């Protein structure tokens, strides 16, 4: 049976077929073509099955988000399917899953390659979204260093002093700094390459969100996460559906005047840290 005879569908590309990314896509995918990219064939099969059995038009592609060529091939694949209207990047590794080198290569450099690649194929009026993290607010980076980051090409980011001398010290620091760099990457793209295509790009920074990936963090550092949740104004964890609502807004027409910015969605954790009602440890 043919569910949709529209032959000129806008394309949504998702890099990282996890629960937050797929939840965002589901909000905006009706009548559009979905392209899922992930390094795990199992993740792709599961996500594609769920989309297809919900009536969505979906294709998949194995993508290694550590490799520039693989990411660029993903962007070209999206472009070959139609007008690329939306790009969402959720690919990443958490602090208790990987060493600093891997986190920085995937969450920082890989994200930069994706922003660069999709900046070449986005449609006029298109929108992109990078899923960063509340941790991007937890390690203050001096303004001069942020300017240095903004002026550094993606392939040179690993050579920066803050990366070699600070981020490499431990996985938690690597993750915090990589996520702040994600926010800066969106700012830079919004003002340069994405601007040239009249496309928008923003980041969202989730707090403690319950996902399958998060369970690895809870198992390794559950007490710290519990303290963070208890100190927040919301006094609870968030859900992928709540992130999806915010993501769909930033990608949609009602956010047409928003680009190069970050939306913090953390239930008040960063507010608690900044006001001293919660002290970050480690």
List phi, psi (to 5°) of 41: -65, -35
Point out the catalytic residue in the list 86, 175, 188, 278: 175
CA–CA gap between residue 175 and residue 77 (Å, rounded): 29
Point out the catalytic residue in the list 179, 215, 225, 279: 179
- Which stretches within the chain are classed as H helix? 19-28, 41-52, 68-81, 100-103, 111-118, 143-150, 161, 171-191, 193-196, 212-231, 240-251, 269-275
- Residue located via tokens 């003002």: 191
> Active site includes 179?
yes
> Active site includes 175?
yes
SS3 170: coil
Q: Which residues, including other chains, have CB under 8 Å from residue 211's CB and lie 6 or more apart?
A: 18, 19, 20, 240
CA–CA gap between residue 231 and residue 134 (Å, rounded): 14
Asked if residues 60 and 42 have their Cβ atoms less than 8 Å apart, the reply is no
CA–CA gap between residue 131 and residue 201 (Å, rounded): 11
Nearest residue to 36 via CA among 17, 57, 8, 49: 17
- Residue located via tokens 């941790």: 135
CA–CA gap between residue 65 and residue 182 (Å, rounded): 14
- Catalytic residues, by residue number, are 175, 179
């Amino acid at each position: 049976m043919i569910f949709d005879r529209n032959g000129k569908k806008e394309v949504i590309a998702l890099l990282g077929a996890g629960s937050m990314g797929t939840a965002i896509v589901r909000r905006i995918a009706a009548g559009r073509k979905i392209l899922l990219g992930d390094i795990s064939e199992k993740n792709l099969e599961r996500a594609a099955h769920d989309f297809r059995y919900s009536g969505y038009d979906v294709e998949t592609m194995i993508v290694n988000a550590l490799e520039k060529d693989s990411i660029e091939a993903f962007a070209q694949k999206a472009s070959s399917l139609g007008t690329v209207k939306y790009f969402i990047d959720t690919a990443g590794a958490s602090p208790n899953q990987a060493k600093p080198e891997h986190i920085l290569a995937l969450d920082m450099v890989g994200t930069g390659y994706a922003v660069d690649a999709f900046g070449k194929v986005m449609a006029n009026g298109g929108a992109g979204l990078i899923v960063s993290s509340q941790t991007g607010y937890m390690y203050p980076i001096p303004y001069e260093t942020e300017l240095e980051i903004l002026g550094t090409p993606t392939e040179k980011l690993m050579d920066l002093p803050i990366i070699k001398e600070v981020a490499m010290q431990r996985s938690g620091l690597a993750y915090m700094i990589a996520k702040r760099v994600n926010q800066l990457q969106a700012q830079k793209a919004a003002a340069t390459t994405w601007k040239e295509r009249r496309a928008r790009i923003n980041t969202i920074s989730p707090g403690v969100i319950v996902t399958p990936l998060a369970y690895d963090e809870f198992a390794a550092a559950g007490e710290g996460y519990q303290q963070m949740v208890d100190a927040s104004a919301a006094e609870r964890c968030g859900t992928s559906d709540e992130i999806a609502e915010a993501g769909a807004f930033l990608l949609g027409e009602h956010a047409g005047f928003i680009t190069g910015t970050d939306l913090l969605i953390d239930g008040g954790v960063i507010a608690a840290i900044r006001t001293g009602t919660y002290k970050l440890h480690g």
